[in-house]
């Protein structure tokens, strides 16, 4: 037998972490790496955060799972906190970001069809990443995600990101919603413009469409506000959130207004594990830490410091780096060439973990509770990595 016990769908590297301490990961061989990847924006409180760890431990000893056949005091309590701190009136809990986006798509279609309309098409934006399920890969125009899984699901139109006129032109009689990331993550840490986001909200209102935001990666304080839509001065009808929501525990959610959720009635959707007491305990602990003005101000201040350090640094290497973009502690460094080799070089030779992305960009996604000492170590490692890096020869 040649196949590995773990299905070989990931190009795994040689770093094999077995333990974490704050912003550090420790491999099974004892080597340490500064974790400015944070599980791809998941471990927003780092590793071993005492409040999150205790909440999970206490809940594990109390009640982990019962199914959604019964009342959910744990789910009700955290859903109320989300309603109190966001635009939403109601919440459906999932196990992942892709499931949260799936629920968002279903909610938008159900809204129209509950009124007797046959609208079902979703306008999405090129280079987006919404997940790996059949619906979420169909919502992306990326051929590398489609290969081997055709035919795709019907009902998605692709428009250039940040192109308001293109979005307007794509609206037709079957259009049900826009689906957009306020900051494209996998697509290269590309924030949408204010005009684009406000324009999508206006077009949705004008044409009776749902505005769905995918804040799976940029949400939960990552961008410097609890959710990124706040920075654009708009509110969505439906929003998907996950990643940092459980601080490392797998959980996601679809948030919606009462009007948008009018089609989501008994029997229309479900999840065996969604909203289980274990997940809700993790979410409550995360919210205890992040959902306050002091913490959010700290994220913005730390993000400003890190961005300023990066912008000053990249001028030393014009042959390697071209810019810095993003919001809060969701930052991308653009390079003159594809970034995976540089990301591997930082990891393997300098003990620094970052994340490759599209558009010749690597992501800098540290835990949100880092301090100045972590920024200093990060910049030292990045500087050493840049100085020792051999740029690949052009093909």
Delimiting residues of CATH 3.90.1150.10 domain(s) in the chain: 17-49+293-388
pTM, 2 dp: 0.97
Instruction: Tell me how far CA of residue 321 lies from CA of 51, 171, 255, 310, 327, in angstroms.
Output: 38, 38, 38, 10, 18
User: Chain-wide mean pLDDT for the chain?
Assistant: 97
In three-state secondary structure terms, 335 is strand
Q: Note the pLDDT tens digit of each residue in 174-233.
A: 999 999 999 999 999 999 999 999 999 999 999 999 999 999 999 999 999 999 999 999
Residue 270: its pLDDT value, please?
96
51 CB burial (10 A radius; 0-12, 13-18, 19+): middle
Residue 78: its pLDDT value, please?
98
Residue 260: its pLDDT value, please?
98
Q: Note the pLDDT tens digit of each residue in 32-75.
A: 999 999 999 999 999 999 999 999 999 999 999 999 999 999 99
Confidence of residue 1 (pLDDT cuts 50, 70, 90): confident
Check pLDDT > 80 for residue 395: no
Delimiting residues of CATH 3.40.640.10 domain(s) in the chain: 63-291
Query: How far apart, in whole angstroms, are the C-alpha atoms of residue 190 and residue 192?
Result: 6
Measured from the Cβ of residue 378, the count of other Cβ atoms closer than 10 Å reads 21
CATH architecture of 63-291: 3-Layer(aba) Sandwich (3.40)
Query: How far apart, in whole angstroms, are the C-alpha atoms of residue 346 and residue 354?
Result: 8
Check pLDDT > 50 for residue 172: yes
Instruction: Tell me how far CA of residue 72 lies from CA of 92, 106, 152, 170, 278, in angstroms.
Output: 12, 23, 36, 41, 12
SS (H, E, C) 82-134: HHHHCCCCEEEEECCHHHHHHHHHHHHHHHHHCCCCCCCEEEEECCCCCCCCH
Q: Note the pLDDT tens digit of each residue in 76-111.
A: 999 999 999 999 999 999 999 999 999 999 999 999
Confidence of residue 394 (pLDDT cuts 50, 70, 90): low
Please give the share of the chain, as a percent, with pLDDT higher than 70. Answer: 99
Please give the CATH topology (third level) of the domain spanning 17-49+293-388. 3.90.1150
């Amino acid at each position: 037998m040649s196949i590995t016990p773990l299905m070989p769908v990931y190009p795994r590297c040689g770093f094999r972490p077995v333990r974490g301490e704050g912003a550090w990961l420790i491999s099974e061989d004892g080597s340490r790496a500064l974790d400015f990847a944070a599980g791809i924006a998941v471990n927003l409180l780092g590793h071993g955060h005492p409040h999150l760890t205790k909440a999970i431990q206490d809940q594990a000893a109390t009640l982990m799972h019962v199914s959604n056949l019964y009342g959910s005091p744990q789910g009700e309590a955290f859903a109320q906190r989300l309603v109190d701190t966001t635009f939403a009136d109601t919440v459906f809990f999932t196990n992942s970001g892709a499931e949260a986006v799936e629920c968002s798509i279903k909610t938008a279609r159900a809204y129209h069809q509950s009124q007797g309309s046959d609208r079902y098409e979703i306008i999405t934006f090129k280079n987006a990443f919404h997940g790996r399920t059949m619906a979420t890969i169909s919502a992306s125009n990326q051929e590398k995600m489609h290969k081997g899984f055709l035919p795709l699901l019907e009902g998605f139109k692709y428009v250039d990101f940040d192109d308001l006129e293109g979005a307007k032109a794509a609206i037709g009689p079957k259009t049900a919603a826009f689906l957009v990331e306020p900051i494209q993550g996998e697509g290269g840490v590309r924030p949408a413009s204010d005009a684009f986001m406000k324009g999508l909200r206006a077009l949705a209102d004008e044409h009776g469409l749902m505005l769905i935001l995918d804040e799976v990666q940029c949400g939960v304080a990552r961008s410097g506000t609890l959710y990124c839509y706040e920075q654009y001065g708009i509110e969505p009808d439906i929003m998907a959130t996950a990643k940092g929501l459980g601080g490392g525990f797998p959980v996601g959610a679809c948030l919606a207004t009462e009007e948008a959720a009018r089609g989501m009635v008994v029997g229309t959707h479900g999840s065996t594990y969604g909203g289980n007491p274990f997940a809700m305990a993790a979410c409550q602990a995360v919210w205890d830490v992040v959902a306050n003005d002091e913490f959010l101000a700290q994220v913005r201040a730390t993000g400003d410091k890190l961005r300023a350090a990066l912008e000053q640094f990249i001028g030393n290497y014009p042959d390697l780096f071209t810019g810095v973009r993003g919001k809060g502690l969701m930052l991308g460094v653009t390079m003159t060439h594809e970034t995976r080799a540089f990301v591997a070089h930082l990891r393997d030779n300098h003990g620094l973990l970052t994340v490759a992305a599209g558009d010749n960009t690597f992501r800098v996604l540290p835990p949100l509770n880092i301090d100045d000492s972590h920024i200093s170590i990060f910049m030292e490692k990045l500087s050493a990595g840049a100085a020792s890096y051999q740029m690949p020869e052009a093909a």
